Amino acid sequence: MADLDFPLNGQRVFVAGHQGMVGSAIVRALRGQRRCEVLTAPRRSLDLRRPERVESWMRRHRPQAVFLAAARVGGIAANQSRPAEFLHDNLAIASSVVEASRKAAVGKLLFLGSSCIYPRLAPQPISEAALLTGPLEATNEWYAVAKIAGVKLCEAYRRQHGCNFVSLMPTNLYGPGDNFDPESGHVIPALMRRMHDAKAAERDSVAVWGSGAPRREFLHVDDLADACVFLMERYADAGPVNVGSGQELSIAELAALIKDAVGFRGNIVFDASRPDGTPRKRLDLGRLDQLGWRARRALPSGLEETYRWFLAAWIETGPERSVRR
Ligand code: GFB
Residue 309: pLDDT above 60? yes
pLDDT in the model for residue 318? 37
Summarize the confidence of residues 299-316 as an average pLDDT: 90
Summarize the confidence of residues 125-142 as an average pLDDT: 96
Separation between Cα atoms, residue 23 and residue 176, nearest integer Å: 11
Amino acid at 325: R
In degrees and rounded to multiples of 5, residue 106 shows phi and psi of -60, 135
Residue 321: pLDDT above 60? no
Residue 308: its H or E element: helix 299-313
Whether the CB-CB separation of 202 and 3 falls below 8 Å is answered with: no
Whether the CB-CB separation of 87 and 142 falls below 8 Å is answered with: yes
Three-state secondary-structure class, residue 201: coil
Averaged confidence pLDDT in the chain: 95
Neighbours of 247 (CB within 10 A): 18
Separation between Cα atoms, residue 265 and residue 129, nearest integer Å: 44
Residue 319: pLDDT above 90? no
Query: Hey, which bits of the chain come out as E strands?
Result: 12-16, 37-39, 65-68, 108-112, 165-170, 172-174, 205-209, 215-220, 241-243, 248-250, 267-271, 280-281, 314-316, 322-324
Q: Best of 80, 179, 187, 270 to mutate for ligand 1, by most ligand atoms within 8 A of CB?
A: 187
Reported as a pLDDT band with limits 50, 70 and 90, residue 2 is confident
**Which residues line the pocket of ligand 1, CB cutoff 6 A?**
75-76, 79, 114-116, 140, 143, 172, 185-187, 190-191, 208-210, 214, 216, 251, 274-278, 281
Separation between Cα atoms, residue 112 and residue 100, nearest integer Å: 17
Q: State in Å: Cα 76 to ligand 1 middle.
A: 5
pLDDT per residue as tens digits for the range 223-243: 999 999 999 999 999 999 999
For the question of residue 143 being annotated catalytic, the response is: yes
Give how far Cα 68 sits from Cα of 17, 114, 282, Å: 7, 12, 23
Residue 270: pLDDT above 60? yes
Q: Best of 72, 173, 186, 303 to mutate for ligand 1, by most ligand atoms within 8 A of CB?
A: 186
Residue 141: pLDDT above 90? yes
The neighbouring-strand residues paired with 13 are: 38, 65
Summarize the confidence of residues 86-103 as an average pLDDT: 98
pLDDT in the model for residue 317? 40
Q: State in Å: Cα 194 to ligand 1 middle.
A: 15
pLDDT in the model for residue 323? 46
Separation between Cα atoms, residue 280 and residue 227, nearest integer Å: 23
Q: Which atom of ligand 1 is nearest to the CA of 173?
A: 36
CA angle 141, 143, 145 (to 5 degrees): 65
Dihedral through CA 122, CA 126, CA 132, CA 133, nearest 10? -40
The DSSP symbol for 10 reads: T
For atom 13 of ligand 1, the residue with the nearest CA is 276
pLDDT in the model for residue 315? 55
pLDDT per residue as tens digits for the range 23-82: 999 999 999 999 999 999 999 999 999 999 999 999 999 999 999 999 999 998 999 999
Summarize the confidence of residues 179-205 as an average pLDDT: 96
